[in-house]
């Protein structure tokens, strides 16, 4: 189905930071819509382009391979693109709209917002209006993957009533809070890393399954 397909009533799920074939296979078996591969070397979840290519070869059609970069150079970005069949780019650093558009070169892309207090949501949306989606994440050290939520109450009501077709909610989600997030915010997709892990980069297969079950349960209760 892919991550950005807007289909009201079915919240898409991205699981990020996978490093092993076993974790990839378990996520696919749980019904994930997208898998994120971190190309940011300081992260304990980082993979090389060649490792990512091998992992992506296990994905069935319809599951997005999300390439996550943080202020990558042109050479770094092109090395990823040459090796790994990424279907959706996630710019998680300080990239300008122009840089994102140029690097994506016609492929779909998301811009991550690192939401601190008084974040200017509408300014961000206008600035990155060419993005296929806006991934709302918490403001944490190390750019992302922090395992902590941001204050959802700052998200403009207009984003929510429009069923937020471009909003991917991220940051500290887990089996205990994702249902509330969907009921309150109706994002087109949710994104999780820490909340389904044993340790950074090591996924808990049962937690991945439970997380997706919690999303499906939330979708079912919002339809009734």
Ligand X SMILES: O=C(O)c1ccccc1NCC(=O)[C@H](O)[C@H](O)COP(=O)(O)O
Task: Return residues touching ligand X (CB under 6 A).
Answer: 16-17, 36, 38, 40, 43, 45, 68, 70, 92, 137, 142-147, 170-173, 191-195
In the complex, least distance from residue 118 CB atom to ligand X, rounded to whole angstroms: 20
Name the active-site residue from 100, 137, 188, 191: 137
Which residues are within 8 A (CB) of 95 and not within 5 positions of it... i.e. 6 or more apart?
69, 71, 103, 111
Report how far apart, in Å, the C-alpha atoms of 25 and of each of 29, 36, 39, 68, 109 are: 6, 14, 20, 20, 24
Q: Looking at beta carbons only, is 69 or 223 nearer to ligand X?
A: 69
Element of type H or E holding 57: none
CB 195 within 8 A of CB 211: yes
In the complex, least distance from residue 206 CB atom to ligand X, rounded to whole angstroms: 17
CB 189 within 8 A of CB 212: no
Name the active-site residue from 16, 64, 100, 191: 16
How far is it, in rounded angstroms, from Cα 12 to Cα 158?
20
Q: Is 100 a catalytic residue?
A: no
**Residue 7, φ and ψ in degrees, nearest 5:** -135, 95
Q: Looking at beta carbons only, is 45 or 203 nearer to ligand X?
A: 45
Q: Looking at beta carbons only, is 137 or 186 nearer to ligand X?
A: 137
Q: Looking at beta carbons only, is 11 or 170 nearer to ligand X?
A: 170
In the complex, least distance from residue 117 CB atom to ligand X, rounded to whole angstroms: 18
Q: Is 188 a catalytic residue?
A: no
In the complex, least distance from residue 212 CB atom to ligand X, rounded to whole angstroms: 14
Closest among 6, 40, 3, 24 to 135, alpha carbons compared? 3
Kindly list the catalytic residues.
Answer: 16, 137
């Amino acid at each position: 189905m892919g991550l950005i397909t807007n289909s009201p009533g079915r919240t898409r799920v991205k699981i990020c930071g996978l490093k092993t074939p076993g974790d990839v296979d378990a996520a696919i078996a749980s019904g994930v819509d997208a898998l994120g591969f971190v190309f940011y070397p300081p992260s304990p979840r980082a993979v090389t382009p060649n490792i990512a290519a091998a992992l992506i070869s296990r994905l069935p059609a319809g599951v997005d391979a999300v390439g996550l970069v943080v202020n990558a150079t042109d050479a770094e970005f092109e090395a990823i693109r040459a090796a790994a069949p990424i279907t959706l780019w996630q710019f998680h650093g300080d990239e300008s709209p122009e840089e994102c558009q140029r690097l994506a070169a016609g492929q779909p892309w998301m811009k991550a917002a690192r939401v601190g207090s008084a974040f200017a949501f509408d300014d961000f949306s206008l600035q990155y209006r060419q993005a296929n989606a806006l991934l709302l994440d918490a403001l944490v050290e190390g750019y992302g993957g922090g395992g902590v939520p941001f204050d959802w109450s700052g998200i403009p009501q207009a984003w929510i009533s429009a069923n937020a077709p471009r909003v991917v909610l991220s940051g500290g989600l887990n089996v205990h809070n994702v249902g509330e997030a969907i009921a309150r915010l109706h994002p087109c997709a949710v994104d999780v890393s820490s909340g389904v892990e044993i340790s950074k980069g090591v996924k808990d297969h049962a937690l991945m399954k439970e997380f997706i079950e919690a999303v499906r349960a939330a979708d079912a209760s919002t339809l009734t």
